[in-house]
Structures are given as structure tokens and as C-alpha cells.
Amino acid sequence: MELVKVKTKYQITLPVALRKKAGVNIGDIFEATVNKGEITLRAKNLVDKGIAEGLADVRAGRVYGPFDTHKEMVDFLHESVKKYKKSKHVRK
């Protein structure tokens, strides 16, 4: 069991052995909870909302590609624009 001391401004330092065992790095985010006088820290992964939405699209298959070259991608985009213009979505 490792002991830590509360310092000025109520800061604590995690001992090296605990940091290594838990894989804690500078900048990591933790959720702190108190239950019956015990403080528990749980590592949290924060994901930007836009990135989370993009990952959800990938998981749901709402993506195009992969393309082997940039030319394939550009050609695909040109064809998509042609199809869109021919559809009823575009006002004439």
C-alpha cells in the first residue's frame, strides 16, 4: 500500500510505482467520486463531439472508400456531383 500526503492547495502526488502500474501520464483525465469516505479515481477518455459523431458514422458504414489514390477519390466526388445534379434535390 502506498501512502500519499495532501499538500498545500490540497494537491497530492501519486507515487511512481502507482503511476507506472496504472499507466498514468501527464495530462490524463480522471473522474473522482467519494463513497463512504473513500476517494476513487477512474481514468476517463474524453472524445470531441465531432470526432465521436465521425466514429459513429464509420461504425454504421456511412462512409465512402477507401480509395487507393487521390484521383479515385476526386473521380468519385465528380460522379457524385453529377448524380446529385440529375436528382430532384437541385432546384432548376
| Domains (range + CATH), the chain | 8-44 (2.10.260), 49-86 (no CATH)
d(CA 69, CA 66): 9
Question: 10 Å Cβ neighbour count for 50?
Answer: 8
Q: How confident is the model at residue 87 (pLDDT cuts 50, 70, 90)?
A: confident
Half-sphere exposure of 71 (CA within 13 A, CB side): 0
The pLDDT-based confidence of 78 (bands split at 50, 70, 90) is very high
CB 30 within 8 A of CB 42: yes
Alpha-carbon 56 to chain mean position: 11
- Grid cell digits, residue 32: 473522482
For 15-73, write each residue's pLDDT tens digit: 999 999 999 999 899 999 999 999 999 999 888 888 989 999 999 999 998 999 999 99
pLDDT for the residue numbered 48? 86
